[in-house]
Amino acid sequence: MSREKRGVREIITAEDTEIVDAWARKIFNSRGEETIEVEIYTGTGYGRASAPSGASVGAHEVVAFPEGGIDAALEAFENIVAPEIIGMDADDQEGVDRKLWELDGTGNFSRIGGATATATSFAVAKAAAATHGIPLFQHLGGAMACLLPYPLGNVLGGGKHSKGLGPDIQEILVIPLGADSMYEAVRANIVVHSRLPKVIRKYDPYFAGGRNDEGAWTSCLSNDKALEAVYEVCREVSRELGIEIRMGIDVAASSLWNPEKGKYIYIRDKVERSPREQLEYITSLVEKYDLVYVEDPFHEEDFNSFAELRDRVGDRCIVTGDDLFVTNSERLKRGIEVRAANGIIIKPNQVGTITRAYETITLAKEHGYIPIMSHRSGETESEVIAHLAVAFGCPIIKTGTVGGERIVKLNELIRVAEYLGKRAKMNKAPLRKFMR
């Protein structure tokens, strides 16, 4: 492999890409919680990356930190991980990721921590890309990686992200499916976000401009009023910009599910719904608000209800599993068998490594599922998932609309588009059936 530097062609050798040093530290995420950041040095390159964390965490995700928390994770990195990966080839991403699993030995990263594995996997990839002098998306996806994801942004939030102060539905989202460029798409979502407070105040005169973990507005609205507000702004901005902007929701239904009662408990709306009533309710929302995206409408073990909803609305709506699948290929295989959902959230920290996330994306595409690269509510200023979305051809990236730790990923995609120049295209083909 080669690169150009000051007009001189340099040959990159295994000696250049060998990992020569590794370091980890504690930093803070967007919620002010401690997380781990890893630095990887090769002979001629350097990569730094950190791990995010979620508030709505699936039961089947890997363990973020070992017993003992962040300090135990740092100790594990220093004593277990670093000595073993130093000397490995950063170009061998699969080999490094496999080594992390071997070093942990538990199957869920409870020894070294999933956050440790994620930050290390990311940092190794960045170090290899830097050694070759190419962007991360190109290093992982090759020369043909040129399709950009549509941004799916949370504009009005509730649930755990809003500490129970907003609607029961965790996220009301927008996606500019009519946008022809990355810049245009990002701007469209931001315009919706910026216009929303005026409309929220029509329904909630006491709204003071509060925001939640992901930068979405938070207000004491019922689910229906919150959806009405976003729907109104989406139509207004769509007409103004001449871009089709559609709505979606993340119900985060596992957080509403009461297994003892066998019902979904909507505290704000003072409603309890059985699984059948939940199915009817979500179906009605898809029809009333022309939803193009519904995430986690049922709890994380109810594969059959996901399948029923897909049968009802899957021709016009991306029924997406997050807690249902947790980026785990074995969970996805179970879903494929019963046709549960037709979209899957991809959060690399749910499985700990880039390689495992890639395997799940590949399986999803093979069976017609839409892979959605996603942030976490507790984010860092890392831009890695923007590159992963392009590298692995994800048609959608879910990463908020505003806020430093969110906008850094969107701005990075604008830079990627500029780097690609005329080759840059929005990843429309997998989404065309969902467009008007």
Any idea which residues carry the catalytic annotation? 214, 347
Considering Cα of 223, then 224, then 229, then 235, what sign does the dihedral take? positive
- Quick one: 332 exposed, middle or buried, by C-beta within 10 A (0-12, 13-18, 19+)? buried
Total Cβ atoms within 10 A of residue 275: 18
Tokens of 400: 């908020």
Strand pairing of 293-295 and 271-273?
A: unpaired
Angle between helices 354-366 and 93-104 (to 10 degrees): 110
Q: Where are the alpha helices (DSSP H) in 242-322?
A: 275-289, 303-313
The span from the first CA to the last CA of the chain, in angstroms, equals 44
Strand ranges (DSSP E) for 280-357? 293-295, 318-321, 343-346
Beta bridge mates, 426: 148
CA 120 to CA 108: how far, in whole Å? 16
Residues contacting 394, CB < 8 A, separation 6+: 149, 346, 361, 371, 372, 373, 388, 427
Beta bridge mates, 271: 266
The arrangement of strands across the sheet holding 257-258 comes to: 257-258, 263-266, 271-273
- Whether residue 397 contacts residue 373, with contact meaning beta carbons closer than 8 Å, is answered with yes
Beta bridge mates, 20: none
